[in-house]
Structure 1
Amino acid sequence: MRSSRHRKGRDSMGIKETIARHLRQPAGFVGKLVGLLMNKGNDFMNRFTIGIVDPRPGESILEIGFGNGKYIHEIASKMKTGFVAGVDFSSTMVEQARKRNKAYILQGLVDINLGEVNHIPFESETFNKVFTVNTIYFWPNPANDIREIHRVLKTDGQLVVSFRSKERMERLEFTKHGFKLYDPEEVIELVRAAGFREIRSESAADRVMDVHCVIAVK
């Protein structure tokens, strides 16, 4: 009986680690499913964030950690002109996002890139706005990573970092595996130290989801 319990415990731990790994960097068939589930589970967060970003025709906008590219597609369809780019370090998600946005890529409206937040593959002062949803938990060096975002933003450009509260995330077992959780005040301090100004935060919640957005100007 003890052996069975221990085996079940190991199996449960393995499942949670697998979930955490694919949330961080979706890969393969399971990663594709995770991308679809993230679209559904994080829809409230994404729409609240995009409402703050307020994409407008002619702007250049970057999403860091775009999943399967659903929201890049939606932004591009409304902007019509300008430039919408994405950077994600999951090759599976890059493949999915390129398929979803193929028509916009051919038009030159969308650019999907394999890359990481610590080395964004764009020149300095490229973007009017940069946003990211549910990725800061995985950044290797948040202080340096936010400075890298600062580099690619134009003067007076806007940064929006969205994440769930530490309190709620700590209730989820899989967040014990490779997640660094934050309160809004901690993210605000990281953004301030990177040289941003006019920093504020906005929060919202529905029945099951909460979202905190730290908003700042270069």
Structure 2
Amino acid sequence: MNFNKTKGYKENSINFFNRMAEKNHGDSYKHYKTVLSWIDYKTERDILDLGCGKGELLKQIEVRLNSYKIDKKFKISGLDISPNMIEKAKNNSEIEFKVGDSEDIPFAENTFQVITCLNSFHHYENPEKVLKEIHRVLKNEGKIIIGEININDFFKKLINRILPYTSNGDVRIYSSNEIKEIFSQEGFVFIKEKFIFPSLKVYLFKKQKRSS
């Protein structure tokens, strides 16, 4: 355990995931089946994955989009703060992958119909800023699908006390109610949630339509 926090959460996240790019790390794949089932590939064809890692989820999405032989083109993109992860993701792929920060998403307003974010939200030092950016780049009534750790309050509080002294870039573990409250405050409507493992949950929110 590294008790030196002088580098900050973002730099720690970059360094941690640059190292993990060479390994099989994490359990985001446990979210995939549910996330993939919550996308309508006939109509929702502009998709962004935040914290995309090596791009495994987007590559599965690409296969499903290609299976529908319709004229409408699709745009799928991945964003990750780790250059090494993006380098791995780009191998043998036509998907657009970018190195970048979720606090400053490098896409225009109203670009995407669906944004996915798996096991990344607890790395965000400024979650409200990230959600403002997600809201900006999502089309009206667009979806945000988030997969996150879900543990009881005792262990959550214990882990959150320890996290500031670790070096992997984790900022905070949230309860279900905290996630719903943060998203609601930033203009998202809660649609549904699902446990996909005793300690993992997937949430679906929609961007609230702005009145003209």
The answer to whether residue 41 in structure 2 is matched with residue 70 in structure 1 is: no
- After TM superposition, give the deviation of residue 170 of structure 1 in Å: 6.5
What SS class does the counterpart of residue 38 from structure 2 fall into? Answer: helix
- 5 Å matches for 1:129-140? 129-140=114-125
- 5 Å matches for 1:119-130? 119-130=104-115
- 5 Å matches for 1:7-86? 13-14=1-2, 21=12, 25-27=16-18, 30-34=19-23, 36-38=24-26, 41-56=27-42, 59-80=45-66, 81-86=73-78
Tell me the residue number matched to 1:6. none
Letter in 1 for 2:107: F
- After TM superposition, give the deviation of residue 57 of structure 1 in Å: 6.4
Calculate the TM-score normalised by the size of structure 2.
0.77
Alpha-carbon deviations, 1:75-113, whole Å to 9, x = none? 112212411111101000010001142xxx2xxxx2101
Q: Which portions of structure 1, spanning 4 or more consecutive aligned residues, are displaced by more than 3 angstroms?
A: 20-25, 53-58, 168-173
* Higher RCO (CA-CA < 8 Å; seq separation 6+): 2
- After TM superposition, give the deviation of residue 202 of structure 1 in Å: 1.2
- After TM superposition, give the deviation of residue 146 of structure 1 in Å: 0.5
What SS class does the counterpart of residue 120 from structure 1 fall into? Answer: coil
The answer to whether residue 132 in structure 2 is matched with residue 147 in structure 1 is: yes
CA change 1:76–1:169 in 2 (3 A) is: farther
- After TM superposition, give the deviation of residue 215 of structure 1 in Å: 1.5
Mapped contact 2:196–2:202 kept (Cα < 8 A)? no
Alpha-carbon deviations, 1:43-87, whole Å to 9, x = none? 212322222234446610000001111111111122124111111
What is the RMSD of the two structures over their aligned residues, measured on CA atoms? Answer: 2.8
Alpha-carbon deviations, 1:119-154, whole Å to 9, x = none? 111000000100100101111211121011000001
Calculate the TM-score normalised by the size of structure 1.
0.75
Mapped contact 1:73–1:100 kept (Cα < 8 A)? no
Alpha-carbon deviations, 1:9-38, whole Å to 9, x = none? xxxx24xx9xx95698411xx32234x222
- After TM superposition, give the deviation of residue 172 of structure 1 in Å: 6.9
Percent sequence identity over aligned pairs: 20
The answer to whether residue 172 in structure 2 is matched with residue 180 in structure 1 is: yes
Structure 2 unaligned runs (5+)?
67-72, 208-212
CA change 1:154–1:72 in 2 (3 A) is: same
Tell me the residue number matched to 1:202. 193
Distance 1:97 1:211 in 2: 24
CA change 1:92–1:118 in 2 (3 A) is: same
